[in-house]
């Protein structure tokens, strides 16, 4: 498997209760070279992140029967590698807005950019989501042009310690021995 040095692969967690929309967003994201995990509810999204519904972090220590990943990994969410969360607004149980609030309240995950999707164009809803921390609000059906807007949000938060080989002006690699 080759590692592309110039193209950073971002991992997006997509949340939507609609099977069709999940398939669609997955395809849109993969077409744009994102790695995708798609789940059908806010609860499942939190489970995937390792966040329990009732508390943000450090509850792994309390609950030894927890099936979520170990607390060491939980401290550093980058092991999970979720770089962005895109969620539907209207879902039964936990709405996309509820999920947004939980993520933003979590010390581990509050810096992960969250994007909300909705089939309904309700300005007060859109404003509330954006005010409460959503980076973008996409109207459904989501298109490739929308997904192309995601990369800047991801590049913003990306760690800068990516190694690039040193090159001379002629393009020859400089090895450390010479």
Partner 1 sequence: MERNPLRRQLQIMRKSLFDQGYLDEQFVQLEELQDDSNPNFVEEVVTLYYRDSARLILNLEQALERKPYNFNKLDAYMHQFKGSSSSIGAKKVKAESTLFREYCKSGNGEGCMRCFQQLKKEYATLRKKLEAYFQLARQAGPMETACRPK
Binding site for partner 1 (CB under 8 A): 18-21, 23-24, 27-28, 31, 90, 119, 140-141, 143-144
Return the ∠ at Cα 97 (arms to 49 and 10), rounded to 5°.
40
In the complex, what is the shortest distance from the CB of residue 24 to partner 1, in angstroms, rounded to a whole number?
A: 6
Count of all residues that appear for the chain in the document: 178
Question: Cβ(34)–Cβ(11) under 8 Å?
Answer: yes
CB of 82 to partner 1, least distance (A): 23
Tokens of 146: 């929308």
Comparing CB distances to partner 1, the nearer of 75 and 119 is 119
| Comparison of 18 and 66: residue with beta carbon closer to partner 1 | 18
| Whether 58 contacts 71, CB under 8 Å | yes
CA angle 40/45/49 to nearest 5° reads 155
Judged by beta carbon, residue 19 or residue 155, the one nearer partner 1 is 19
Q: How far is the CB of 40 from partner 1 (least distance, A)?
A: 13
CA–CA separation, 141 vs 150, rounded Å? 16
Residue 51 Cβ vs partner 1, minimum distance, rounded to whole Å: 27
By C-beta, is 31 or 61 nearer to partner 1?
31
């Amino acid at each position: 498997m080759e590692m592309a040095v110039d193209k950073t692969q971002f991992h997006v967690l997509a949340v939507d209760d609609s099977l069709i929309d999940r398939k669609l967003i997955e395809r849109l994201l993969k077409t744009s070279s994102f790695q995708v995990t798609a789940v059908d509810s806010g609860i499942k999204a939190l489970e995937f992140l390792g966040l329990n519904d009732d508390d943000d972090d450090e509850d792994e220590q309390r609950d030894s029967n927890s099936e979520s990943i170990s607390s060491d990994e939980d401290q550093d969410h980058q092991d999970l590698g979720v770089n962005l969360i895109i969620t539907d607004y209207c879902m039964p149980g936990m709405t996309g807005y509820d999920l947004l609030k939980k993520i933003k309240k979590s010390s581990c995950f509050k810096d992960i950019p969250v994007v909300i999707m909705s089939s309904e164009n309700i300005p007060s809803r859109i404003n509330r989501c954006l005010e409460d921390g959503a980076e973008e609000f996409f109207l459904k059906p989501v298109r490739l042009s929308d997904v192309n807007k995601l990369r800047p949000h991801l590049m913003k938060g990306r760690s800068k310690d990516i190694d690039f080989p040193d090159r001379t002006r002629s393009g020859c690699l400089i090895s450390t021995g010479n």
